[in-house]
Structure 1
Amino acid sequence: MLKFKLAATAASLAIGLALGATAAGAADVPATIKERGKVIVAIDVSHPPYGMLDSEAKETGSDVETAKLLAEDMGVPLEIVPVSGANRVPSLISRKVDMVIASFSITVERKKVIDYSKPYGVIPVVISASKETAIKAPADLAGESLAVARGTTADIELTRLVKDNGVDANIVRYEDEATTNTAVATGQQNILAAALSTANEVAEQNPALNLELKIDMAAYPMAVGLRKGDDELKAWVDEWVAKNLENGKLNTIYEKYFHQSLPKTIPEE
């Protein structure tokens, strides 16, 4: 199992919000959701452990449990709309859903077209390889071949890492995470750059590879995706995040699926 400690960053979200925010529910649930009688949330149920289907084809995962907790606090039933990573933003902009809870990291590019709640979690991005592979620093990647899914935050961070450190490494970009994981599992590449959850999954499914964490590249804040202009809903969700970070419910979900606690401080961007 890959585990690591996230470095402390910026000021504490929990402390900052506790000083100025009221409990979730002080802001009214938006009238459109109350009148409809349900909240509609986009979730990627093909991206474990965030979203997946269990043996009975029921949605489960950290995103699903987070959405269920949110709906419960709103006092309305939850309707899940399955999405892929690529259509999370379009489903929101086209008003097919009220919000997106789908391993949604905050990026500068996305913030140009959508809004975000206060972050409620993090998506660590790491490099893993077998225990026998001597990698302790970026310089050790010189001459190595690394697998990564094209366009992911792992791709962004890996590209930045090798460029900033002047490392001559061969980055092999696959079109999706499933293909990337298969390439590592079958020995096409021996080093993987991915989100921690993906690295954990590959390690667990392929114990013979003896994979372990080598470098933690970054930790992206994870938040609820919202439409620009939905200020009333954003106010409610921001207060909900503050309350459920403070009472530990969001941390309980995170620990269940990622086998470690949330960092004491969560970066805003």
Structure 2
Amino acid sequence: MIKHTMFAAAVAAACFLGGTVARADLLDNIMAAKKIRIATDLAIPPSGMMDASMKPTGSDVDTAELLAKDLGLEIEWVQTTGATRIPNLQTNKADVVISTLSVTPERAKVIDFTDPYAALESVVGGLKSIEVKDWDGLKGKTIAVSRGTTQDTALTNRAKDGGGFEVARYDDDATMVTAAVTGQADFIATSGTIVNQIGVKNPARPFEPKVLITTFNLAMGVKKGEPHLVAKLNEWIATNIANGKLNAIYKKYHGTDLPENMRGAS
């Protein structure tokens, strides 16, 4: 009986150890491969875009490149849209999402977030020639939005509660912006920075922020169950908030500083 109990305990221990060994740690895998797969939308200037040489650029791109450089890693870019950011993590297509990912309770149920590295002002923007001062001014209007974004959720909920406007959904930010630039949409719900880009692309149709939806913290996204990777990213974010590098990247592309409570040295 004693021998049987000892044998069973030994088998259980072996299974436990075997399970521990088999449980791959994503941070260890990344460092061993010397490569990190980062999902970034490259069609939402100035956070992510392609330059004249078709090279990725933008505030999220610079953030990702600085991270990879500091960790001694090569980047494998994973192109994404607003709707595919979280699925890219869940299906192991990407290790980290750095793509204007707002922190929300709903998203926190399915992925893990790092500490914030930037912030986003979510607004409804529209043609400067159309006067709108508040939500009531949007009644009877159609607002374009990128499917699966926080703006989509916010507008859907408000429309259900009698908002009095219609929601037109596009598959990604690029097609939504194109709709605004070409005259298919007079109102869009997105970040304040993207709203200001409409007039740059088509000076005949200058847009401006009309109504503030909310201000979100932006964080990096990681699939559930990778605490070592989250801790490493948080350490890096804290360092680069403190030394002012993340603020410098944000200001370079967005024209403003990060919120005061997120700024380190200048």
Q: Considering the TM-score relative to the shorter chain, is it more than 0.5? A: yes
Alignment of 1:161-176 (within 5 A): 161=158, 166-176=162-172
Q: Measure the CA separation in 2 of the matches of 1:195 and 1:64.
A: 17
8 A contact 2:114–2:230 mirrored in 1: yes
| Residue equivalent to 1:241 | 237
Residue 80 of structure 1: SS of its match in structure 2?
strand
Summarize deviations over 1:38-76 as a string: whole Å, max 9, x none: 333222223322222222222212121111111122133
Q: How many angstroms does 1:162 deviate by?
A: 5.1
Bigger radius of gyration, 1 or 2? 2
Change over 3 Å in CA distance of 1:93–1:193 after alignment to 2 = closer
8 A contact 2:146–2:169 mirrored in 1: yes
The answer to whether structure 1 residue 102 and structure 2 residue 112 are counterparts is no
Q: Measure the CA separation in 1 of the matches of 2:198 and 2:33.
A: 41
Summarize deviations over 1:211-264 as a string: whole Å, max 9, x none: 222112112221111122211111111111111112111111111111111112
| Residue equivalent to 1:79 | 76
| Residue equivalent to 1:68 | 65
Residue 164 of structure 2: SS of its match in structure 1?
coil
| Residue equivalent to 2:251 | 255
Q: Measure the CA separation in 1 of the matches of 2:63 and 2:112.
A: 18
Change over 3 Å in CA distance of 1:154–1:37 after alignment to 2 = same
Q: Measure the CA separation in 1 of the matches of 2:79 and 2:191.
A: 21
Identical aligned residues as a percent: 41
Amino acid in the other structure paired with 1:115: D
| Residue equivalent to 1:88 | 85
Q: How many angstroms does 1:161 deviate by?
A: 4.5
Q: How many angstroms does 1:163 deviate by?
A: 5.5
Higher mean C-alpha deviation, range 177-186 or range 205-214:
177-186
Alignment of 1:134-213 (within 5 A): 134-161=131-158, 166-213=162-209
Structure 1, unmatched stretches of 5+, are 1-28
Amino acid in the other structure paired with 2:144: A
TM-score using structure 2 length: 0.78
Q: Measure the CA separation in 1 of the matches of 2:201 and 2:79.
A: 25
Q: 2:218 aligns with which of 219, 222, 230?
A: 222
8 A contact 2:83–2:147 mirrored in 1: no
Q: Measure the CA separation in 1 of the matches of 2:246 and 2:97.
A: 16
Q: How many angstroms does 1:142 deviate by?
A: 2.2
Q: Measure the CA separation in 1 of the matches of 2:237 and 2:217.
A: 13
Q: Measure the CA separation in 1 of the matches of 2:138 and 2:171.
A: 22
The answer to whether structure 1 residue 113 and structure 2 residue 110 are counterparts is yes
Q: Measure the CA separation in 1 of the matches of 2:208 and 2:83.
A: 29
* The structure with more helix, counted as a fraction of residues: 2
Residue 243 of structure 1: SS of its match in structure 2?
helix
Q: Measure the CA separation in 1 of the matches of 2:70 and 2:42.
A: 22
Change over 3 Å in CA distance of 1:134–1:81 after alignment to 2 = closer
Residue 199 of structure 1: SS of its match in structure 2?
helix
8 A contact 1:157–1:218 mirrored in 2: no
Q: Measure the CA separation in 1 of the matches of 2:144 and 2:28.
A: 47
Q: Measure the CA separation in 1 of the matches of 2:229 and 2:109.
A: 19
Q: Measure the CA separation in 2 of the matches of 1:68 and 1:50.
A: 13
Alignment of 1:36-47 (within 5 A): 36-47=33-44
Q: Measure the CA separation in 2 of the matches of 1:79 and 1:188.
A: 35
Higher relative contact order (CA 8 A, sep 6+): 1
Q: 1:33 aligns with which of 27, 30, 35?
A: 30
Higher mean C-alpha deviation, range 142-151 or range 195-204:
142-151
8 A contact 1:138–1:162 mirrored in 2: no
Higher mean C-alpha deviation, range 125-134 or range 217-226:
125-134
The answer to whether structure 1 residue 52 and structure 2 residue 49 are counterparts is yes
Q: Measure the CA separation in 2 of the matches of 1:43 and 1:167.
A: 32
